Amino acid sequence: MPSKALFSKFSTLTDPRDPKKTTHILAEIMFISVCAILCGADDWNAIRLFAKTKERWFRQHLTLPGGIPVAITFNRVFAAIDPDEFRQIFIQWIRDVLSGLQLSDSRIVAIDGKTIKGSAWNKGKDAIHMVNAWCTKAGLSLGQYKVDAKSNEITAIPELLKLLELAGSLVTIDAMGCQKKIATAILKKEADYLLAVKGNQKKLYGELTRAFEQLWQENPEDGPCPEFAEQEGKSHGRREHRRCWVINDIAEGSNASGWQAKTIAAVQLDSQKKGKGSTLIRCNCSAPPHKSGIF
């Protein structure tokens, strides 16, 4: 049976329904739903349509005692199950999938927040905001965590990190996640971090900008600077030129060393589109004591 691991994991999911009033097997509903979503279904009707279209294939591997569930059944079941339990099962399955792939030690996991489109359809309700962990090497999401209405990404990211297997990975996060607590949590997972640094961390940001201003004064030409790289390319109709400077010798007692950072970097992005140009400089700090291979 294809994806036996996925089906067997969903077999452990607690069924909140009254067994006397159920026709469909919970694990089969979950299995059908995940297959449909992976193939692009984005609502209950689309899941139902996918299942009906592939019914012959599903009947080869599932019992389907009540046939293909209707859309409202998928809706009601997902509304009834424990979302935390579902998330843990799904993330464990993703771990198993990744363990079977020959991923290099330089696996990059990008963590960022996103708002679910159309989730604020009910008047007076805020849109659902999620923190997502994306494995760039495998091209799939490792897990998501809903940001509580009374909270923000800063509190949601540590909760997501607890669920992930990150050893040997490089975790990248934008400036919102540039927090000592988050950096420490990543290191405890035997992973490396690359954090964007902006004004929300004034002391660290000031230290980084001063360090690179001094580097540029001492090296007015890019060539003599040993830790320098550049590249050109096109993206979204723009011509881009990136330059990156890296400083590895972090002084003891500095702000960066207090973050357990081993490397700081500055990336300058020059872009041009339709005759108009712009320049953006980003600062980053990184702690690569493990095997992610960064810099």
Convert the pLDDT of each residue in 211-252 to its tens digit: 999 988 887 776 556 678 888 888 777 888 888 999 888 888
257 and 251 Cβ atoms separated by less than 8 Å: yes
User: Which residue is associated with the tokens 């067997």?
Assistant: 8
Q: 197: burial class by Cβ within 10 Å (0-12, 13-18, 19+)?
A: buried
Confidence (pLDDT) at 3: 57
C-alpha 38/C-alpha 35 separation (Å) is: 5
268 and 232 Cβ atoms separated by less than 8 Å: no
Whole-prediction pTM value?
0.72
Give CA 175 to chain center in angstroms.
15
- The secondary structure of 126-192 as a DSSP string is PPPEEEEEEETTTTEEEEEEEPPTTS-HHHHHHHHHHH---TT-EEEE-GGG--HHHHHHHHHTT-E
> Token pair for residue 196?
């964007």
Note the pLDDT tens digit of each residue in 62-101. 999 999 999 999 999 999 999 889 988 888 888 777 766 6
Within the chain, strands assigned E span 108-115, 129-135, 140-146, 170-173, 192-197, 228-235, 238-247, 263-273, 276-287
Contacts of 204 (CB under 8 A, 6+ apart): 178, 197, 255, 256, 259, 285
Instruction: Tell which phi-psi region holds residue 57, choosing left (phi > 0), alpha (psi between -120 and 50) or beta.
Output: alpha
Confidence (pLDDT) at 222: 62
Note the pLDDT tens digit of each residue in 179-189. 999 999 999 99
Q: 218: burial class by Cβ within 10 Å (0-12, 13-18, 19+)?
A: exposed
